[in-house]
Amino acid sequence: MKFYLGTHRPYWLDKVNVPLMVSRRTLAGRKTLPKAIQPWVLDSGGFTELNLFGGWSVPAAVYAAELRRLHDEVGQLEWAAGQDWMCEPWILTKTGKTVDEHIALTVGNYIDLKTWAPELPFIPTLQGWSLADYLRCFDAYEDAGVNLADQPTVGLGSVCRRQNTDEIGTIVRTFARRGLKLHGFGCKAGAIRRYGEHLHSADSMAWSFNGRKVRPCPMTGVSSCNNCVHFALDWRERLLSQPIQLSLDGVAA
């Protein structure tokens, strides 16, 4: 499993020598951009968009143009999430739409982005709430001519706030058995232990929340470690050194 350290500090791209996950919201509109020294991936910021605006405020054509600039100027971009539509119940309340509508919008956006900018590394994302929802999303991609098993990475959406549940473990194993190279968005330590074996990659920014409790920062002397690169890298090392829990049949518990 490849792990991307999440950060809300885009200048880490030219300073930190580990793979990073950076949100589009921290890079959009910048006049100058950092030059990446390591491979990195782009989070679309979809949860914030839907939570704040009840939909995407950024047209897909604008998003594709932004990504082209990031791809060319920052460099080393491995992939970017599309403008998917999360399916958490509280997000559905914000948008006024159904899970099936969110699935259709997610699949439709991926098709649009790959049609307009086929050279850019957008990845498809599976969306849903129950396993049945994710299976319908899988079928929707198939109907659109996208074989997810052939994709180098497939995002798994709407899991970050319930990732330690048995239900999410079942969803991850179901699609891993279908040959999908899944990326787990926002995976905390418990999720890595429970089903990390079945993930192709994952990211997390949980270090920043934990860093708020360290006051003051022993490395820099600022009020806390929630923005501290030293704390983040130490947290990453501890996370990746933990064992994955295996069941008796060798499958992640």
Q: Band of the pLDDT at 220, cuts 50, 70, 90? A: low
Instruction: Show the beta-strand stretches assigned E in the chain.
Output: 2-7, 20-23, 40-43, 77-81, 122-123, 125-126, 154-156, 182-184, 201-204
Average pLDDT of the residues in 95-111: 98
The pair of three-digit structure tokens given for residue 218, joined into one six-digit string: 């022993």
State the average pLDDT for the chain. 88
pTM for this prediction: 0.90
Task: Say if 73 falls within a structural domain.
Answer: yes
Task: Say if 105 falls within a structural domain.
Answer: yes
Tell me what pLDDT residue 164 has: 58
Task: Say if 239 falls within a structural domain.
Answer: no
Average pLDDT of the residues in 40-49: 95
Q: Is the dihedral of CA 48, 27, 151, 140 positive or negative?
A: positive
Looking at the predicted structure, is the pLDDT value of residue 78 above 50? yes
Tell me what pLDDT residue 242 has: 72
Q: What are phi and psi of 210, to 5 degrees?
A: -65, -35
Higher pLDDT, 168 or 114: 114
Task: Say if 159 falls within a structural domain.
Answer: yes
Task: Say if 243 falls within a structural domain.
Answer: no
- Tens-place pLDDT, residues 50-73: 999 999 999 999 999 999 999 999
Q: How many structural domains compose the chain?
A: 1
The DSSP-derived string for 201-215 is: EEEE-HHHHHHTTS-
Residues of the domain holding 48: 2-204
Higher pLDDT, 8 or 152: 152
Looking at the predicted structure, is the pLDDT value of residue 125 above 70? yes
Task: Say if 237 falls within a structural domain.
Answer: no
The pair of three-digit structure tokens given for residue 31, joined into one six-digit string: 């006049």
Tell me what pLDDT residue 249 has: 33
Lowest mean per-residue pLDDT among 15-19, 80-84, 215-219, 249-253: 249-253
Average pLDDT of the residues in 27-31: 90
Tell me what pLDDT residue 211 has: 65
How far apart, in whole angstroms, are the C-alpha atoms of residue 17 and residue 176? Answer: 29
95's enclosing H/E stretch is helix 89-95
Q: Band of the pLDDT at 215, cuts 50, 70, 90? A: low
Task: Say if 231 falls within a structural domain.
Answer: no
Average pLDDT of the residues in 145-152: 97
Tell me what pLDDT residue 212 has: 61
Strand partners, 201: 2, 183
Task: Say if 115 falls within a structural domain.
Answer: yes
What CATH number does residue 105 fall under? 3.20.20
